[in-house]
Chains A and B, each alone.
Chain A
Amino acid sequence: MKRKELYWALLVFLAPAVLALVVMRILPAAQALIESLFKTNVFSGEKTFVGVDNYVSLFENPDFQNTIAVTILFAFLVNPIQVFSALLLALLFVRAFPFSRLLRSLIIFPIAVPPAVAAVMWSAVYRPDGLANGILKSLGLSTQGFILDEEQALMAIIVMLSWIGVGYWMLFLIAGLNDIPDEIYEAARIDGAGYIRQTVSVTMPLLGRPLSFVLVATTISNFLVFAPVLILTRGGPVGSTSLLMYDIFLRAYSFGDIGRANAGVFILILLMVTAVSLQFFLLRKGNQQ
């Protein structure tokens, strides 16, 4: 095949993916950036160019400052918790033991529950007279506020999201674990390596790719968390669960403040790109070592 023909073939095969990427990702992002530089009159729909005013007014707003802080704290908590739990579960469920298939199915099951439905279910768990406090009481422990308590609400949402997500991420890691050839473990065993040594020196390095994928994918999906906040806490108590995605929704669809909502979208994109670049950088550094 001539070089020119090869290029044509490449173009044809890549076109659908590239087109989808441009239409569904790049154009909306560009549109958000452009719209974020305008202020739209609510009544006439007339747009005025205001430069970076929308960004300045957002960053000067104490509520928005809180939203950014909460979003970053949330990302630092939820992603390691989910990846680590998924990894532990994958290591457990890749081995066969009595009822392992049943238990594995039970852990995967919440994937089928849409986040909004899960939030409604969990609101019954977290109610003051709900399931969680019922269990605490029966164990003789003191009841908790959960989503009504400023200090527990974010963690309560993280627990709920992990209930939905961990089983899903576990699947990728189990697939990765199954891809590791048995001979390598066999060789390690002959060399006298125990389970822990095998996990650290064989499993972890060879699980690098699926693990990086899971880390990046959880990070992105967790930046986009929205329905549970809307249904369970509406950003409260006292702003403690005010995630950026919810703030954007509120500004765009409840308040009709399109300019600042789009500024929020662009800030969210920047946050995600920064977080993911940082992860790639650290993973690459780790691999080189």
Chain B
Amino acid sequence: MKKLLKAPLQLAGLGLASALVLTGCAASTTAPSQSAEPSASEDITSQPIELAFMGPETPETFEPVIAGFTELYPNITINYEQIPFDQLATTIEQRIGSGDSAIDIYTVDQPWLAQYAAKGYLEDISYLAAEASSAMPSAMYDVNFYDEKMWALSVWNSTQMMFYNKDMLDAAGVQYPSSSPDARWTWEEIDAASKIIVDSGSAQYGYLLEQVVNYYQFQAIAESAGGGSGITGSDMLSLDLTNAGWTKALEWYQDSFANGLQPTGVGGFDTGPMFSDKKLAFFIGGPWDIGIFGGNDVNWGVAPHPYFEGGEVATPTGSWSWGLNPASKNKTAAAEFLKYATINPVGNLKTTEALTVIPANEEAAGKYLPGLESDPRSAGVSDIMLYEIQNTARTRPTTVGYVQFDSLLSVALEDIRNGAEITSRIDVLTAAIDDAWELFR
């Protein structure tokens, strides 16, 4: 069970960025400067080649795509190495950073791409840009660009939605939220409904954000409150965390825990099980949860992601891309595998066989999404996801300082969730991020 849960969460943490990126950057679709394609004369069809592939998912996740590829290239073996999500950034820093050639291809959390590209941890693959742009929605394509070059290819896309426990709502006499994006609930409505449900004793808590202290999920809340992404400036290295919107979002966030509507002390892989264990009436989670909750006995339904009354509708997005290690000795073969898993709809679809996640490839997504409704409880989810990806998704900011921002913000959110005074905590956070960003100035 743990294994099952782990993969989607890792995905959620790292990977969500790609979908949103689509809509967010649509206007900036970039024409890349040409990069050198590996020598075409290199033979990858006859001699035996071993490729090393590193990522946070369980090995089972990539078995289908690896099997599909090695059927086309029987001479190529792909060895997948799983690095737990929490250690992935560190491992990339240590191994790719030190020029380790024993990794050929690795997973890249999209908001981290800018920094990896700037540090030279990724091979320039702009020569694949033309093929990629016709296979993917523009946000999924744009997210892989930094400094006008393409550094990776999107494998998955993501969004978030609201799961609700029908039995709990019935018991408390609360109407189900609509599955139509036009009639989506506000956070205020969820607070009110949660209070009724908790007071009536039909649930221990009202709701919970899946990645409760992660920017991936909090960004949509701050944006809906009118606070923007929190990062501004031409170099995207200025903070804007004290505006009215961010303050409103943070106060709402803190109150939801103080009032007992969201539980404290639960995070990481423990959030989803709270919904399956019938402790929550609502759960804001991702497409992977459809797969996970498919195995529980909760009578659940799905509604669109909430927003603040009078505010804009904003939803999380983004996911994982894959990139090539510049130190790899098998770049041609690795690029071929990368193309198969992303640009080729058949290969891309295979990456979603073992996991409920949206394929980044347009054709693959078209085949995949309707299948998500095979469980009658997930009725309407395909339309919700399509709508969010196209209309409400907010990409995480492209900044070389994302790593520092993301990791320090999440510690601050944990403190605020547990009652730390907001203004002073945000001041401390701002000083800490500015200090960490000294590196780029």
Residues of chain A touching chain B, judged by Cβ–Cβ distance below 8 Å, are 42-43, 45, 57, 61-63, 126-130, 145, 148-149, 230, 234-239, 250-251, 253-257
Contact = CB atoms under 8 A, between A and B. Distances in A.
Nearest to B421: A238
Interface string B390-434: 000000000010011001001100110010100001001001100
B89 interface: yes
Given A127-B265, A127-B266, A148-B264, A257 B439 contact: yes
A254 B407 contact: yes
Interface of B: 86, 89-90, 93-94, 115, 118-120, 263-266, 400, 403-404, 407, 410-411, 414-415, 418, 420, 425, 428, 431-432, 435-436, 438-440
B89 A234 contact: no
B418 A62 contact: no
A21 B310 CA distance: 66
A257 B436 contact: yes
A63 B438 CA distance: 15
By secondary structure, the B interface counts as helix
B421 to A, nearest CB: 9
A230 B425 CA distance: 20
A39 to B, nearest CB: 8
A42 B118 CA distance: 8
Nearest to A147: B265
A62 B430 CA distance: 12
A256 B439 contact: yes
A145 B440 CA distance: 38
A63 to B, nearest CB: 6
Given A57-B438, A148-B265, A236-B414, A253 B431 contact: no
- Among all A-B residue pairs, the 9 with the closest Cβ atoms: A128-B265, A253-B90, A127-B265, A43-B118, A148-B418, A255-B436, A234-B411, A255-B404, A237-B415
A42 B439 contact: yes
Given A148-B265, A237-B420, A63 B432 contact: yes
A42 B440 contact: yes
Contact of A236 (B119, B265, B415, B436): B415
Contacts of A250: 407
13 contacts: A42-B115, A42-B439, A43-B120, A57-B438, A126-B265, A128-B263, A129-B263, A236-B411, A237-B418, A238-B415, A238-B420, A255-B436, A256-B403
B431 A62 contact: yes
A262 B263 CA distance: 39
Given A238-B420, A257-B439, A129 B265 contact: yes
Nearest to B118: A43
Contacts of A253: 89-90, 93-94
A145 B418 contact: yes
A61 B428 CA distance: 11
A239 B403 CA distance: 19
B119 A256 contact: yes
B6 to A, nearest CB: 13
Contacts of A129: 263, 265
Given A43-B120, A254-B403, 15 more contacts: A42-B118, A63-B428, A127-B266, A129-B265, A130-B265, A149-B418, A236-B415, A237-B418, A237-B420, A238-B415, A238-B425, A253-B89, A254-B404, A256-B93, A256-B439
A69 B413 CA distance: 23
Contacts of A145: 418
Residue among A63, A127, A234, A255 having the largest count of chain B Cβ atoms under 10 Å = A255
B265 A255 contact: no
B439 A255 contact: yes
A61 B90 contact: no
A83 B418 CA distance: 33
Contacts of A61: 435
B428 A234 contact: no
Contacts of B414: 234, 236-237
A146 B131 CA distance: 54
A46 to B, nearest CB: 12
Nearest to B91: A253
Residue among A126, A238, A257 having the largest count of chain B Cβ atoms under 10 Å = A238
A128 B267 CA distance: 12
Nearest to B117: A43
B403 A63 contact: no
B435 A63 contact: yes
Nearest to B97: A256
Contacts of B119: 42-43, 45, 256
A259 to B, nearest CB: 9
A62 B86 CA distance: 27
Contacts of A235: 411
Nearest to A234: B411
A145 B333 CA distance: 53
A128 B257 CA distance: 13
A32 to B, nearest CB: 16
Contacts of B120: 43, 45
A63 B265 CA distance: 24
Contacts of A127: 265-266
B403 A255 contact: yes
A38 to B, nearest CB: 13
